[in-house]
């Protein structure tokens, strides 16, 4: 990933934020994928995991080069101290594909939001490359899921017979009165959130087995209950209308209790996954019109928000939560000036 550096213009707040987040996320992913690569048996899946690891390392190096050029403090992120590749595998080969599908969706969201906000040409080029590479990866992952027969296909609904317009406010009903069937956008986001919760629950089961701190173990077990509950809520909405849902993936977790990752990495990982869940539920809320669906997402958002805050507090208590770039504290600076 070669980038022509622009040293005439400093990084603005958006560019700092997205580069910092890209470094943190990909240094974490590099640790996780290096452990997966050490244990994968299926040679076709191994190639996909290998490609994903190469990408994460390229993204980390790209940000590192930019920060060094800018004389910008390099984040600590996650290192080889946070992974033990010789620890037994925690997940089956099949799960590696589901995991990459989930993390690729998160990457597309981060890079896609970043790109329109970039003003420096070299930073815009970098995120364009990140977006293009991640798109290529998720296509590779989806092709392999399909080839292996693992893909969970979204439910089919009939083609409309003609173009129509909404004529009554009852279209928004969800609890009382004439309640219409789910429309395609509502189905899309329910299906996506069900899949995300199935994958997240699987990760949480594995992490709860290998966590060293009781505080971390309790946090992961609570997260598993939340993911299971949210999976059920969204699945029942589809099942009520005879629409299929993605299956649970719990059997893809091994019985290993030997930690491949540090508690710091696993806690930060789940903080990231649940933070992305907030974005996923927010997107779903924006595209849903039935009152029962929007009300459900409101409740799910609140529960996930509380969980993320509790996870952040654990990381802060142990001195593990790196601070993102922030604006100057003008009041503190003024206070220093007065004392001088």
Global pTM value: 0.92
Distance from CA of residue 52 to its chain's centroid? Answer: 15
> Mean of the pLDDT values across residues 135-147?
97
Distance CA 230, CA 207 (A): 19
Q: What is the pLDDT of residues 190-213, one digit of tens each?
A: 999 999 999 999 999 999 999 999
162 pLDDT above the threshold of 70: yes
Q: Can you tell me which residue has the tokens 């009152």?
A: 291
pLDDT for the residue 170: 84
- Cα distances (Å, whole numbers) of residue 16 to 82, 272, 303: 25, 18, 30
**Cα(137)–Cα(135) distance, integer angstroms:** 5
Per-residue pLDDT, averaged over 91-119, amounts to: 95
Please answer whether residues 121 and 6 qualify as being in contact, where contact means their C-beta atoms are separated by less than 8 angstroms. yes
pLDDT of residue 4: 58
Tell me the C-alpha distance between 45 and 55, whole Å: 16
| Residue 1 pLDDT exceeds 80 | no
Helix (H, G, I), strand (E, B) or coil at 221: helix
pLDDT of 178: 83
Cα distance between residue 170 and residue 288, in whole Å: 14
Q: State the Cα–Cα distance between residues 90 and 39, nearest whole angstrom.
A: 9
The runs of H, that is alpha helices, within 40-81 are 43-69
- Name the β-bridge partners of 261: 83
Residue 253 pairs in a beta bridge with 91
Q: What percent of the chain has pLDDT over 90?
A: 87
Domains of the chain as residue ranges with CATH:
13-148 (1.20.1260.10), 172-317 (1.20.1260.10)
Model pLDDT for residues 63-101, shown as the tens digit of each residue:
999 999 999 999 999 999 999 999 999 999 999 999 999
Instruction: Compute the distance between CA of residue 211 and CA of residue 129 in angstroms, rounded to an integer.
Output: 36
Tokens of 119: 């003003």
Q: Which residue has the tokens 């890079």?
A: 111
């Amino acid at each position: 990933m070669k980038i022509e550096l622009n040293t005439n213009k400093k990084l603005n707040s958006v560019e700092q934020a997205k580069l910092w987040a890209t470094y943190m996320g990909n240094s974490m992913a590099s640790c996780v994928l290096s452990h997966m690569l050490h244990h994968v048996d299926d040679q076709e899946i191994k190639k996909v995991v290998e490609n994903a690891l190469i990408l994460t390392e390229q993204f980390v190096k790209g940000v590192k080069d930019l920060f060094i050029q800018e004389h910008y403090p390099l984040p600590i992120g996650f290192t080889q101290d946070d992974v033990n590749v010789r620890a037994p595998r925690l997940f089956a080969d099949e799960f590696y594909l589901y995991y990459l599908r989930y993390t690729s969706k998160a990457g597309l969201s981060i890079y896609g939001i970043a790109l329109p906000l970039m003003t420096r040409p070299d930073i815009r080029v970098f995120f364009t490359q990140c977006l293009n590479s991640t798109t290529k990866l998720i296509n590779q992952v989806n092709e392999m899921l399909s080839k292996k027969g693992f893909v969970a296909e979204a439910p089919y609904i009939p083609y409309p017979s003609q173009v129509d317009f909404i004529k009554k406010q009852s279209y928004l009903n969800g609890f009382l009165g004439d309640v219409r069937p789910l429309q395609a956008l509502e189905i899309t986001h329910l299906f996506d959130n069900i899949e995300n919760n199935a994958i997240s629950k699987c990760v949480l089961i594995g992490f709860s087995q290998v966590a060293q701190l009781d505080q971390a173990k309790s946090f992961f077990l609570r997260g598993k209950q939340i993911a299971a509950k949210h999976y059920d809520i969204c699945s029942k909405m589809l099942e009520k209308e005879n629409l299929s849902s993605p299956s649970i993936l719990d059997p893809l977790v091994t019985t290993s209790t030997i930690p491949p990752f540090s508690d710091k990495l696993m806690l930060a990982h789940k903080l990231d996954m649940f933070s992305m869940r907030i974005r996923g539920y927010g997107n779903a809320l924006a595209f849903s019109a039935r009152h029962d669906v929007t009300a459900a997402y409101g409740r799910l958002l609140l529960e996930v928000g509380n969980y993320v805050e509790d996870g952040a507090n654990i990381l802060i208590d142990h001195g593990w939560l790196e601070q993102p770039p922030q604006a100057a504290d003008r009041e503190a600076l003024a206070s220093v000036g007065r004392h001088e």
